[in-house]
Structure 1
């Protein structure tokens, strides 16, 4: 997946958050944080959509961090419907900035898949409230933000939304309503299910295209 992958831990509000860090070849040009689907339904940092996004970011020269949310694997705590998970990721971003100063000197990407989109969108809003450097790209894949939203959102026009045409978990109409409410464009992958079975190459190309110009 990358020339080097290692395990790293940061401290969330409920304890340790276990992460996998994927390194690019050469010095990183920036970094990415990629967030996984629903923890209570088998979602982990090793989900194939998450690893596809991470691999694409690494190939673009970004250092990529893939955390396990609280209660998943070695991460401590229990599921908190995106509230605690978002608070944990605020802490995680702070600690990433301290650990990899060279990477964070460049642009960064925040991506989420399914449940991870709820954390990603609300993390963006939390970081904006703190007046800290915001991601150059926010990616919402299989958008389920409204199912776990606890706060108001203001999302950038550069937000990248990707959805499967025949998503059986989050219907396309639900994601389209979110896109309409926030006036965001959305890429629909024909015949793709929620987990993009058989369509990961197409998803990878959409992510690759979205990274151009960082």
Structure 2
């Protein structure tokens, strides 16, 4: 497991980085759930998304936000965590200077952070937001949303209820120039606990979507 330590805005950040031998490989960061509710880079959804991107040929970085694991600092209400994500993307891009495609993937709280990072970084070419908690956080900053992406959630999610995710998607659909793809995994809760029925279908959906997007830009 390739462990990395890189400089964050409030001290060192701990991550796991899996590069590809191809120096032109696309890059992706994967962002974990809420630090104050047990969220870490080793969360099962985050771990599986990391390896899903790697299997598609991405050089992938996941990391612990400030105050989690061996990452320095303290929880900062999302403000500092957004800065952490920007620092992680800087680190990843510094290791892959020939890469032309950059993706951000976030789960739950990480989806909220990832969408904010999308607004700050025009170099991000695509995104995946898994179970974005649209009932808990304000996503109105996505005006306009600068890139097309996938939003995916479970129909039995009680933490980020499907109706709130659908409302968010409908607002984004009104914007021109981008395409928001929305997929729901039938019966899945927030954490996609059932591997065969929920986790694997979610990962397959992500891989199908991202592979299609990559094939469209490399034709």
Q: TM-score, normalised by structure 2?
A: 0.85
Aligned mates of 2:169, 2:54 — CA distance in 1: 27
Alignment of 1:25-174 (within 5 A): 26-27=21-22, 29-102=25-98, 105-128=99-122, 133-134=123-124, 136-145=125-134, 147-149=136-138, 152-153=141-142, 154-156=144-146, 158-174=148-164
Aligned mates of 1:167, 1:110 — CA distance in 2: 22
Aligned mates of 1:187, 1:140 — CA distance in 2: 11
Q: What does the per-residue CA deviation read over 1:10-64, in whole Å, with 9 as the maximum and x for residues that have no partner?
A: 222211111111234x425211100001111111101111111111111111111
Q: What does the per-residue CA deviation read over 1:72-121, in whole Å, with 9 as the maximum and x for residues that have no partner?
A: 0011111122111111211221222222324xx23122100000011100
Aligned residues: 202
Q: Which moved more, 1:150-159 or 1:42-51?
A: 150-159
Query: Match of 2:176?
Result: none
Aligned mates of 2:45, 2:102 — CA distance in 1: 19
Q: TM-score, normalised by structure 1?
A: 0.87
- Residues 36, 115 of structure 1: 8 Å contact kept: yes
- Residues 163, 189 of structure 1: 8 Å contact kept: yes
Aligned mates of 2:138, 2:87 — CA distance in 1: 19
- Residues 19, 68 of structure 1: 8 Å contact kept: yes
- Residues 164, 196 of structure 1: 8 Å contact kept: yes
- Residues 7, 21 of structure 1: 8 Å contact kept: yes
C-alpha distance 146-121 of structure 1, shift in aligned 2 (>3 A):
farther
Q: Gaps (5+ residues) in structure 2? A: 174-179, 215-219
How far is 1:71 from its partner? 0.8
Aligned mates of 1:177, 1:70 — CA distance in 2: 31
Q: What does the per-residue CA deviation read over 1:161-211, in whole Å, with 9 as the maximum and x for residues that have no partner?
A: 000000021111111111112113310100000001111110111111111
What's the secondary structure of 1:209's corresponding residue?
helix
Q: Gaps (5+ residues) in structure 1? A: none
